[in-house]
Structure 1
Amino acid sequence: MPFDSEREPMTVNEHLSHFAGLPVTDFPDEDGRRPRPADAPDPTAWRVRTDWQTPYPTIFQEFLDTVDTTRLTHLVTGWDDSCDAIQLLVDAADRLPALRHLFVGDIVYEESEISWIDRGDITRVVEAFPRLETLETRGAGVRVRPFASEHLRRLRLESGGLPGEAVRNLCACDLPNLEHLDLWLGVEYYGGDTTVADLAPILSGERFPALRRLGLEDAERADQIAEALAGAPVVARLESLSLALGTLTDAGAEALLAGQPLTHLSHLDLHHHFLSRPMMERLRQALPGVELDLDEQKSGPDWPYVAVSE
């Protein structure tokens, strides 16, 4: 089912209300009740989360025994009491044959800082569910092994610090139909040591030939990334580009304006930025036909900061 990913929330302050085009239904609900399929919209994206009293593996098993998981296409995991949610999914793969869209870790600040969520090797999910079309994860300690998938179309890795090794291994993956890639690069203090050189296979366009939407977000090195994007071959075939949540300043925006044309983009997302008002106006005038998101102008500190780190 197609969905407008540009309109989905980009935040760790609130839970998803929709995922991959479907409304989200909680198991258990806010009152701790275990809803049955008749209580939920059909179809729906089920979110399995702890009730703060029952161990998450027990709740996950209750969910498998309550819902007809043979028909389930969309699944979200919520606060999991620090268990290995990916391994639970892998172990239950035979119960979820129709799963196509998966978000691992819809966990907000009130439940856990993103740096406390040890996500681990996400390749396990793709190996267990080879027909996944959407994979989104939130957490630290992300590891990736090179893999191949003809089905994966959207990949989103949210982290306060995405390791360079994970990005390099991702760039070694064979994903011929990947259309949308979002990477929250984060800061070096929390493991985000990804460099522009690590991103080179993406920026050159040699990887992911179907890519049309690219987000290099929450980046401590946003200006450097903007400078690299100014001449990056991949930009010419993108429909949307995002440098949101990062440390973009006038220097990075100047590089974007001085580089290759961006007027072909339908959407350029720069929200949470450190641009001056004159630069914001220059961008608006230079890109009149582009949907430009310049919300959340930041100012004041001696150095820019990313939206999500700890």
Structure 2
Amino acid sequence: MTISTPLGELHGLPVFDFPSPDSTAALPDAASVAWRVSAPTYSEPGDERWEAIFDRFLATVDAGRVRALVVGGWDEAYDTSSAPVVTALIGADNRLTALEAVFLGDMTFEDCEISWIQQTDVTPLLAAYPGLREFGVRGGTGLAFPSIHHSGLRTLVVETGGLPAAVVRGIAGSDLPALENLELWLGTDEYGGNSSPADLEPLLSGTAFPALRHLGLRNSQIQDEVAAAVASAPVVARLERLDLSMGTLTDEGGAALLAGQPLTHLAYLGLAHHYLSKEMSERIVDALTPSGVRVDIDDPQQPDEDDGEVHRYVAVAE
């Protein structure tokens, strides 16, 4: 599986691509859409660079009413970090005064594979926008997220083929009192995903993020270990949604979930893209659905065998 389509919605608003300079089409109201500002990642001479497109965006749209912004590709994103983009966004904080949501790196595989996207420390961007309610970033290479305080952030999404342990610890150690929704794609060690459940301890213990209600620990090569940690994690008691999808979950992790604390209070349990046996899948569904839990157990996978070795794959890696 790869990321083949760009975001269609952000912060409850439909995504609208900011057009080229020669477009004559009427623009929507500034507050009615999530504006996607994007440049070709494989640029050619004469192509407009991202910073120039962003400057034109600020000069064209009523920036003070923009609520959501999607950054797509930037010039040579596979080789050039998002640092200039982050700097440009920070420099516009006195103009984007109504900004509530940002997604950084909305690229499909045709633009740049997820693990090729070169990121940077994104926390100065959060610091520059205290009114931000939702932040998402795609790509773990070069990504940094030292622990921060942000009083208003409600949703944080980090999509990677490999999430460094330092980033996991930075997020888990942050002071985000309003955070309701956290989604981390942990990925594989092949692409830098070297975290362990121990790195998530402040989150799983329930000491971090008192408002958290939706937790996604997805796309993980160590999904059985994550499931075992979640099975006894105090934070689960206050969750409404738990998403462990896109990873390498096997019967070992499924048994840990069933043997752990009750999950019958959940509205949703996501396990899609898994390596569970049919019998274990049925056990999980039979244990939870009578209590009203919606269990997503679609997209079962079969491991590959090569010279006696068994290989299981996360949904999104390269």
Equivalent residue runs for 1:43-192 within 5 Å: 43-50=32-39, 53-81=47-75, 82=77, 84=82, 85-140=85-140, 141-192=142-193
Cα distance, 1:36 vs structure 2: 4.7
Equivalent residue runs for 1:1-310 within 5 Å: 12-28=3-19, 33=23, 36-38=26-28, 43-50=32-39, 53-81=47-75, 82=77, 84=82, 85-140=85-140, 141-288=142-289, 289-301=292-304, 302-310=310-318
The whole-number CA distance in structure 1 between the counterparts of 2:316 and 2:91 is 31
- Once the two structures are superposed, residues 242-300 of structure 1 have per-residue CA deviations (whole angstroms, 9 ceiling, x without a partner) of 11111111110110011111110001111111111111111110111111111111114
Letter in 2 for 1:22: L
> Which one is further off, 294-303 or 246-255?
294-303
Cα distance, 1:134 vs structure 2: 0.3
Letter in 2 for 1:132: L
| Consecutive unaligned residues in structure 1, runs of 5 or more | 1-9
The whole-number CA distance in structure 2 between the counterparts of 1:159 and 1:34 is 37
Moved over 4 A (4+): none
Letter in 2 for 1:33: S
Letter in 2 for 1:17: G
> Which one is further off, 48-57 or 118-127?
48-57
- Once the two structures are superposed, residues 5-29 of structure 1 have per-residue CA deviations (whole angstroms, 9 ceiling, x without a partner) of xxxxx97221111111111100127
Local SS of the residue matching 1:217:
strand
Cα distance, 1:87 vs structure 2: 2.0
Letter in 1 for 2:49: P
Letter in 2 for 1:299: Q
The whole-number CA distance in structure 2 between the counterparts of 1:86 and 1:148 is 18
The whole-number CA distance in structure 2 between the counterparts of 1:41 and 1:97 is 12
Cα distance, 1:34 vs structure 2: 7.1
Letter in 1 for 2:7: L
Does the aligned pair in 1 maintain the 2:127–2:150 contact within 8 Å?
Answer: no
The whole-number CA distance in structure 2 between the counterparts of 1:168 and 1:75 is 27
- Once the two structures are superposed, residues 186-218 of structure 1 have per-residue CA deviations (whole angstroms, 9 ceiling, x without a partner) of 111211111111011111001111110000111
What is aligned with 2:307? none
Local SS of the residue matching 1:261:
coil
Cα distance, 1:171 vs structure 2: 2.0
| Consecutive unaligned residues in structure 2, runs of 5 or more | 305-309
Local SS of the residue matching 2:178:
coil
Letter in 1 for 2:250: T
Letter in 2 for 1:73: R
Does the aligned pair in 2 maintain the 1:218–1:306 contact within 8 Å?
Answer: yes
- Once the two structures are superposed, residues 49-81 of structure 1 have per-residue CA deviations (whole angstroms, 9 ceiling, x without a partner) of 115521111111111111111000111111112
Does the aligned pair in 2 maintain the 1:27–1:35 contact within 8 Å?
Answer: no
Does the aligned pair in 1 maintain the 2:247–2:314 contact within 8 Å?
Answer: yes
> Which one is further off, 299-308 or 193-202?
299-308
The whole-number CA distance in structure 2 between the counterparts of 1:151 and 1:15 is 26
Letter in 2 for 1:121: D
> Which one is further off, 81-90 or 188-197?
81-90
What RMSD over aligned residues (CA atoms) do the two structures have, in Å? 1.8
Does the aligned pair in 1 maintain the 2:106–2:138 contact within 8 Å?
Answer: yes
